[in-house]
Structure 1
């Protein structure tokens, strides 16, 4: 009878242990989730760029200047997201930014390479150039790539469709 009680006790412990598996129900919470932070996200201070010079890029004439982005790596170029903003009196805008400055429709765009971001402004009518004044302020945000889209739990966020304020809030970046 003593052996039967021991076997019954061991069997009960085995059943109890198996029934307590974490696969049986919803996961619990270890604590309150914190605010989204800036882990791995790199951002610059507001920068001024050197005086722009006339340049032709891919057959398009315009004005260009370059800002240094020492953290911009080949890995970020190939797998990450690069956001560039311009700020002046009327607000902060995501590049590419199209306006009618100088009386002509023109676009400012960013061309990223390792450790550099070229700022290029061109007119849509190909009739000359519109300057990139040194009074403009520039900021970049680099978001390194991580999990391949096929294995991610949720669809990759398109940060380029978010406003500057939304991106700063999302990554807890001081504006």
Structure 2
């Protein structure tokens, strides 16, 4: 009977405690506000100093045992030897910072100058020469000489044409003689050019029977009497805005002239005088080079 009462008492206590805990859990309030930040703690102790870094020293001559500290480097400015890193045993042997001298190079080309055309004894092969009077640059010099100079000051109002045939021919016959006059129309021929300038006209044709050199200045003559019984002279005359190409043949044949091509160069008076002192105006290649004319 007592044992039964003990069990009843224990059961009642268990139920009561469970009710208390359950009641406490359901009645818990909301979380409170966050507290203020705490005060900063004291500064920590300073760390241990690190080892000293290496130094690159320099001087004239070999470094001594008292120069620098272990780990340092040293440059001898006199011999260009580099030592280091220094150890407890010393500096050791330096190594060269520059190699041996190379072989001597060949002499370079020079630009020499003067106030006249360069002579055959001026300069060496490969050199250049500047005429400071007219700013013609010659070179490079070769075994045969300086050649033709090139102007460094542009074409100076020089006008020129490409290669083209003449147009609008007029043919007139007098017995066995024929005269043909054709035109090259160009605004480059002005009264000022006619009065004081220079007009150069060159001809070319793909036949070595007429023009053995490929091109030739006007006037010129050719003789094909052995093959075609033709003798002819080709020259030119000027009018405002026109160049007349005039051909005279000996047998009423105009076989050749119609197939010729022409190129003209128009040079103002003052420029022409200067150019004539330095180049052969009958040489088309020399004229093209002197005035920087496109070929």
TM-score, L = length of structure 1: 0.64
Q: Confirm or deny that 1:173 pairs with 2:293.
A: yes
Is the 8 Å Cα contact of residues 247 and 257 (structure 2) preserved in structure 1?
no
Which of the two has higher C-alpha Rg?
2
Counterpart of 1:140? 264
The structure with higher relative contact order (CA 8 Å, sep 6+) is: 1
1:54-95: CA deviations, max 9, x gaps?
Answer: 137xxx841111110211100011101000111111411100
Q: Confirm or deny that 1:108 pairs with 2:108.
A: no
Counterpart of 2:158? 41
Q: Confirm or deny that 1:73 pairs with 2:193.
A: no
Is the 8 Å Cα contact of residues 51 and 134 (structure 1) preserved in structure 2?
no
Query: Counterparts of 1:1-175 in structure 2 under 5 Å?
Result: 33=135, 35-36=150-151, 37-50=154-167, 52-55=169-172, 61-89=178-206, 90=208, 91-101=214-224, 102-123=228-249, 126-131=250-255, 133-146=257-270, 156-157=276-277, 161-175=281-295
Take 1:158 and 1:97, find their aligned partners in 2: how far apart are those partners? 23
Take 2:204 and 2:276, find their aligned partners in 1: how far apart are those partners? 27
Is the 8 Å Cα contact of residues 107 and 122 (structure 1) preserved in structure 2?
yes
TM superposition shift of 1:38: 1.2
Is the 8 Å Cα contact of residues 197 and 272 (structure 2) preserved in structure 1?
no
Over the aligned positions, Cα root-mean-square deviation in angstroms equals 3.1
Take 1:159 and 1:109, find their aligned partners in 2: how far apart are those partners? 22
Take 1:96 and 1:167, find their aligned partners in 2: how far apart are those partners? 17
TM superposition shift of 1:156: 4.5
